[in-house]
Chain A
Amino acid sequence: MSDDSPLILVVEDTEVIYELLLYKLKKSGYRVEHRANGKEGLEAAKELQPDLVLLDVMLPSMNGFEVLRNMKEDTATKDIKVIMLTSKNREEDIMKGHKLGAERYIEKPFKPNILMLRIEEVLGS
């Protein structure tokens, strides 16, 4: 794993899911960081300047939409790409996420391999 491989920040609170994501991302050769709640996720985004944030919506302390809103309002983080990952499957939420400026919106239950493709796509563009 080289230092210039893309850094991905995973903000997700369910242990098995982030372990799975971290495992898969590392296998694919990315550098990864993980935070389990919204506040820490936002701070980490500012501090680490990752290439991409994988963001859950249902998070403790600050929900994903809030994190996204804050990120887009801050000049330091507004260019970081975001993929939202959530178990909410209502249309309004997808619209909301999109309006706030998320690159992609992936519904849970999700297909991990498809997610990996999306990550590649977003990072490639």
Chain B
Amino acid sequence: MAEIREILQQFVNFMEPAEWLFIGYFLAVNLTYILLVLISFFYIRHQQNYYQVFNLKGLFNSNLYKPISILSPAYNEEVNIIASVDALLQLHFSDFEVVVINDGSTDNTLKLLLDYFELYEIDKPVDLPIDHKPIKKVYRSATYPELKVVDKENGRKADALNAGINVASKDLVCSIDADSILEPDVLLKLLKAFMEEENVVAVGGIVRIANGCTIEDNIVKKVDLPKSYLGRIQTVEYLRSFLFGRVGWDYLNSLLIISGAFGVFDKKAVVEVGGYLHDTVGEDMELVVRLHRHFKEKGVPYRVRFMPEPVCWTEVPEDWSVLGRQRNRWQRGLADTMMRHKKMLLNPKYGRLGMLAMPYFFFIEMLGPVVELFGFAYFLIVLFLGGFNSTFVLLFLTASVFLGMVLSVTSVLCEELSFRRYPTLGNIANLTLYAFLENIGYRQIHTWWRFKGLIDYIKGDKEWGVMTRTGLASKSKVNKGFKKLKESISSFFGSLKYWAVIYGTMIIILALILHVLINNGVIPDVYSIIRSKLGI
């Protein structure tokens, strides 16, 4: 025991000079967030005021507008493929095509498409400006001439999208995930960006969480919050990251991320920079950064926009280990993009991008988990050794928890001021509650996932990590019930450790509060009183 104390003490001594680093980091992060919140809050209100009155009805009369190709990569999506393609074909837009890319599925995806849409073979494109795994065949639907299906050898999502870009015949390409649910008027709303400004090369829309919503025929009929803890936490996360993260960066004209689940690009620009990168896990972010870099270096005016109005709904993982793998992958993708483009970091040649956005993503998003994790460890150990003024510790802790909460609640308020997609007052109360709960336990676990992602990146792990999807249709009831039982048992044990962390964090905080309160005589020290009463 004494030896352990010794080692820990050494660690504390070693870390002591870094204390200013933790506090500095804490201040920097929160100041950036507060700045982003303020910008977004006013910017979103400003935009919203106009969008309510700015009349776009009767627009888009001309065929000279930019038509869109929707690229939907599909790998073993037999559960959902027909419904999702059907829904895509129903989008409201005057001139668009749907390109489904069957990325070497091993299940019945292609066969289902062939039968349902009466596909017939057409010729493969001859001109291939960007490269990808070979295309086997290209089909067109006899019932919907605007539907093309590309059958190619298996690659990554980036590879499939590149093939899609080569097959696409329209001016704009819209990349989505196979399970993205687009709202019917989404393309019209996105096109506003091209209307407002010239030289737009990429536009992202907001991604919202479909778990908990009532979905019919791949259209969201009734919006509601997810039922599970993880689903609700992610709802708060998504609101925050889209409604004030991206809106803020859009205002500062340095948006670096467009979600892979939903983004529209100028085809010419994407081809000019060579399409998606094959050997990265963060191909969506990497492409946007590369576009920025390319056009900045070329000195051509260009714009990358985020529009908070067009919505894409997506199913998020509600299982701890799947979510962990997803976040791990995001972190690796982020790190990979940052390292590939580190030339832009703190380089005044790239303007606000180099001096603001890149440093933010590099130091706060990418390296943040390292600082945070050491911070937590340091804090726990010092606490264990009893070396702190516990009131100060509690102060620091409260400030960070409450600040995180204030920031998240602001995004809930932004939502209220603008789009109000969550219908009931209960939803608002729930979101506020989870904005609070997120900071206790989940945030620490999230930090750990991101930290591991960074380590995995350094070790050179470029794998995707399997996403299991629940799928919106089911096969047989018995089978499903059995599978569900098995899944719930294994996920119960798998998630035990995470819950332990969450309750652990809560207990530590409660103990601290109790400790401080007793020390300061706010509540009587029952334990000592009893001891002294008993004469021990």
Contacts and interface: CB of A to CB of B under 8 A. Distances in A.
Bin chain A's interface residue count. under 10
B94 A58 contact: no
A77 interface: no
Q: Chain A: interface secondary structure?
A: loop
Q: Dominant SS at the B interface?
A: loop
Contact of A90 (B94, B184, B219): B94
A63 interface: yes
Contacts of A60: 184, 219
A104 interface: no
Interface in A4-60: 58, 60
A112 B487 CA distance: 59
A61 interface: yes
Contacts, number: 10
A61 B94 contact: no
A70 B90 CA distance: 16
Interface residues of B, number: 7
A88 interface: yes
Interface string B208-225: 000000001101000000
Interface string A86-100: 001010000000000
B92 interface: yes
A63 to B, nearest CB: 6
Contacts of B216: 61
Interface in A74-114: 88, 90
A58 B92 contact: yes
A64 B25 CA distance: 57
B92 A61 contact: no
A63 B219 CA distance: 13
B90 A63 contact: yes
A88 B94 contact: yes
A110 to B, nearest CB: 14
Contacts of A61: 216-217, 219
A63 B144 CA distance: 13
A6 B217 CA distance: 34
Interface in B175-207: 184
B406 to A, nearest CB: 39
Contacts of B219: 60-61
Nearest to A87: B58
A17 to B, nearest CB: 13
Contacts of A88: 94
Interface string B60-97: 00000000000000000000000000000010101000
A2 B217 CA distance: 40
Nearest to B90: A63
Nearest to B143: A69
B480 to A, nearest CB: 26
Interface centre among B90, B92, B217, B219 (most CB of A within 10 A): B90
Contacts of A63: 90
A68 to B, nearest CB: 13
Closest 8 CB pairs of A and B: A63-B90, A58-B92, A90-B94, A61-B217, A61-B219, A61-B216, A88-B94, A62-B217
10 contacts: A58-B92, A60-B184, A60-B219, A61-B216, A61-B217, A61-B219, A62-B217, A63-B90, A88-B94, A90-B94
Interface of A: 58, 60-63, 88, 90
